[in-house]
Structure 1
Amino acid sequence: MLRTVGQGLCLSLPLAAGAQAASVVFLNPGHSNENFWVSYSRFMQAAAQDLGMELRVQYSERRADLALSQARAILKGPQRPDYLVLVNEQYVAPEIIRLSRGSGVKLFLVNNGLTATQASSIQAQPERYAPVLGTLTGNDEQAGYQMLREMVALLPRSSGPVDLLAFAGIKTTPASQLREQGMRRALADFPQVRLRQVVYGGWSRQRAYEQAQLLIERYPQVQLVWSANDEMAFGAMQAFEAAGRKPGVDTVFSAVNSSPEALRARIDGRLGVLMGGHFSVGGWAMVMLHDDARGVAINRDGLREHSLPVLQSIDQAKARRWLKLLEEDDHGVDFQRYSAEGRPADYQYPFLTSPVDY
C-alpha cells in the first residue's frame, strides 16, 4: 500500500503471516519524483516485501533542514520504528545520530557514510552520540576512476591533447567527492588528457545544461564529458547538441545511474560509458536489518562499515537486460536467499564482496 505522509512517500507493507515485522523508516534524501531515489526506494520495498518487514519512506526533497526535522519527528515521536536508515547527504548524519541517542531506534547509514572528520569527532564524544549499527556504501571512487579510463579507451589513437570537462554533484556529499577523486586518480594515467574544469551541477539536469552552455563556448575542443550522475550528463548533452556536437560521435559522454533513459542512451551509443547498480544498496541493508531483528549477527566479519562493489560498468547487452528487469517489481531478486538466518557461522553476505549480476 502506498500513501503520502507529510513531505514523503510512505510504503506500508503487510506483515508476513505468523511473524512480527521489523519496522524501518528510510529517510530518502532525494526528490519524491527523482528517478534514482524513487528506484532506490522501490528496490528497498521489494526487499521488505520479500523479507516480511514494514517499510516507510520519507523524502527530504534534497533539503538538509527538512531531513533534520523529519528525523527529529521520527526519533522523538510516539511511534518510533525499530530502525532508521539514513544517508549522509549534505553532512546531515552527525546531527541525526546525536538526536537518536536514547530513542531506542537503531541507525543504519547507506550510500554516503560519515567523513573521516565526522567519525573522529563522534568517537571523541561518545556520551553525545548513539552507536551506529552499520554502514553500507558503494565503490564510488573506483567507479569514477573506471569511468574515465573507459572513456579514454573509446578515443581514436592520437598523440595530441584531449580536453575533458567534469560535472560533479554536491561538494558536501561524500559520494560525489569520491567519484571526483577517482576521476582525478585516473588522470594521472593519461597525461594527454587535460582537465579543463570541474563544475558542481548539484545532480541537476537544468543546472548542468546551463553550465555546459558556457563551458562549450569556453572550451570548444572538448572531447570528453565526465558526469557523476545521469541527470547532469543529459543536461550537458543537451547543451552540446544545441551547439552542433554529436554525443557518441565527436564527444564521449559518461554517466552514473541505471535509469531507463540512461540505459537507452547506452544502448544507442549516446552514452559511451555508464556505471550503475548502486540503487541496490538500500535493499542489501534491508537484508541485514532483517537478520539483526531476528538476532543474527550482521557484522560477521567483525566490521561495521562496508564498501560494496555495486557500481559496475554497463555495456549494451547488460543495458538491454536491465531495462527488462526494471519492469519486474522485485528486479528478479530473491532477497531471502541472501539472509544469514539459518546459515553456518562462517557465512558471509555475498553482496559485500561481489556485484550482483541482475
Structure 2
Amino acid sequence: MLKALCQSVLLSLPLAASAHAASVVFLNPGHSDEVFWSSYSRFMQAAADELGMTLEVDYSQRDGGLAMSQARAVLSRLKRPDYLVLVNEQYLAPEIIRLSQDSGVKLFLVNNGLTASQAKSIQAQPGKYGQVLGTLIGNDWQAGFGMLHEMVASLPRDNQPIDLVAFSGVSTTPASQLREAGMRQALADFPQVRLRQVVYGGWSRERAYEQAQQLLQRYPKTRLVWAANDQMAFGAMRAFEQAGRTPGRDVVFGAINSSAEALQARIDGRLSVLMGGHATLGGWAMVLLHDDAQGLDIHRGGQREHVLPVLQSIDQAKARRWLKLVERDDYGVDFKHYSAQGRPTSYQYPFLTTPVDY
C-alpha cells in the first residue's frame, strides 16, 4: 500500500521536479572584462538562475585559438554539458560543429549564425558534422540601416553635403558585416551624405580613438560618425572632443549597444542615436534550452533559425528606464513567463517576433 502511494506521488510530480537541472556551457568570444560580453553573460545567468539551470561561461578573450581549445576541452569531458552555446565569431562555428559529432552535446548558435556558404558546406556533408539545435541572431542589418536614417534626421535640413565616417567592427564577424551593409544601403536614401571612409575598429575604444585622429585630419568637415558598437563610438568621440568638436551639437554620433555608459550618453545627448537590446539573445536562448530539456517542442512552426527584433532605437526616456534595470541582477525580466511549459501547443515564443521592452 505504502509502495503504491509513493509511486503515485512520484508520477504526479511535474517533470521539472524529477529531471536534472539542464547544464549549459557558453563559449563567450569576448574578453571577460568587456562590457558587452560580460553583460551578455549576466543576462544568461539571470535566466539560468530563474529557470533552474546551470551555466558555465568560458571567455575566449577574442582569441580564436583559445576558443577552439575551449570547445575541444568541453566536448571531450567525461561529464559533458547538455548544451553548448557558441557564437560564429571569426567563422569558427563549423569546426566546433564538426567536433561535436557523436558527443551527445546539443549545440545552439547565438548572435552570429552560419554564413550561407558555411551552411551549404555542412548540409552537403551531413555525416561529418553534428546537428545545431537552433540559432538566434539579432536584426543587425536593420539596426545599421535605421541608425543612419535617425542620424541624418537629427541634422538641420540645409541641403549641404554631409561628410560621414564609419567604424565597423571585425570583417570576419557576420553581425559586423550586416550592420555595415545596412548602413551602406541607407546611403542610397541620402545623396547628400558622402561616406568618406569605413575603418575596422575591432570593437575597441582605443583603436577607434587612434583611427578617429587620422580621420579628422583627412575629413575635418565630418558631421556624422556611425559606429557599430558603443566602445568605438566613445573612442572616436574622445578624438573629436580633443579637436574642439562637441558631440550632439557639432557632430552626430550613433552607436549600437545598451551598456550603462551608452545609456547615460544617450540621456546626456552625447549619443544622438543609440540602438540596443541584443545582449538579451543569450537569455532567450536559455529559455528555449530549458524547454527543450523538458521535452517540449521549441521549433514551433518548424523553424530552427530566427532573426529576432532585439535591436531597438533607444530614446532618452527608454534609456532612463533601461539604466535602472541593468543595475538589477535579474534585469526585471520574468523568464519563466516566456517558457512554453504549461502552455498549449499553439503557444508561440513572443520574443522571437516582438521586441521585449524590459
**Fold match, TM over 0.5?**
yes
Per the alignment, residue 155 of structure 1 pairs with 155
Task: Map residues 175-194 of structure 1 onto 2, 5 A cutoff.
Answer: 175-194=175-194
Task: Map residues 1-358 of structure 1 onto 2, 5 A cutoff.
Answer: 19-358=19-358
1-side partners of 2:87 and 2:341: how far apart? 26
3-state secondary structure, aligned to 1:65: helix
Residues 121-142 of structure 1: CA deviation (Å, up to 9, x unaligned):
1111111101100000000000
3-state secondary structure, aligned to 1:133: strand
Residue type at the aligned position of 2:202:
G
Deviation at 1:20, TM superposition (A): 1.5
Residues 160-203 of structure 1: CA deviation (Å, up to 9, x unaligned):
11000000000000000000010011100001000000000000
How many residue pairs align between the two structures?
343
Which contiguous aligned blocks of 4+ residues in structure 1 show a shift greater than 4 angstroms?
A: 16-19
Deviation at 1:326, TM superposition (A): 1.1
2-side partners of 1:26 and 1:312: how far apart? 25
Deviation at 1:58, TM superposition (A): 0.4
* Larger-gyration structure (1/2): 2
2-side partners of 1:34 and 1:285: how far apart? 21
Deviation at 1:217, TM superposition (A): 0.4
2-side partners of 1:251 and 1:226: how far apart? 11
Per the alignment, residue 10 of structure 1 pairs with none
3-state secondary structure, aligned to 2:55: strand
Unpaired segments ≥5 residues, structure 2:
1-15
2-side partners of 1:326 and 1:82: how far apart? 29
Deviation at 1:19, TM superposition (A): 4.8
Deviation at 1:17, TM superposition (A): 6.8
Q: RMSD in angstroms over aligned alpha carbons?
A: 0.9
Return the TM-score normalized by structure 1: 0.95
Residues 324-346 of structure 1: CA deviation (Å, up to 9, x unaligned):
00121111000000001121111
Calculate percent identity across the aligned residue pairs. Answer: 76
Unpaired segments ≥5 residues, structure 1:
1-15
Residue type at the aligned position of 1:202:
G
3-state secondary structure, aligned to 1:226: strand
Residue type at the aligned position of 1:320:
R
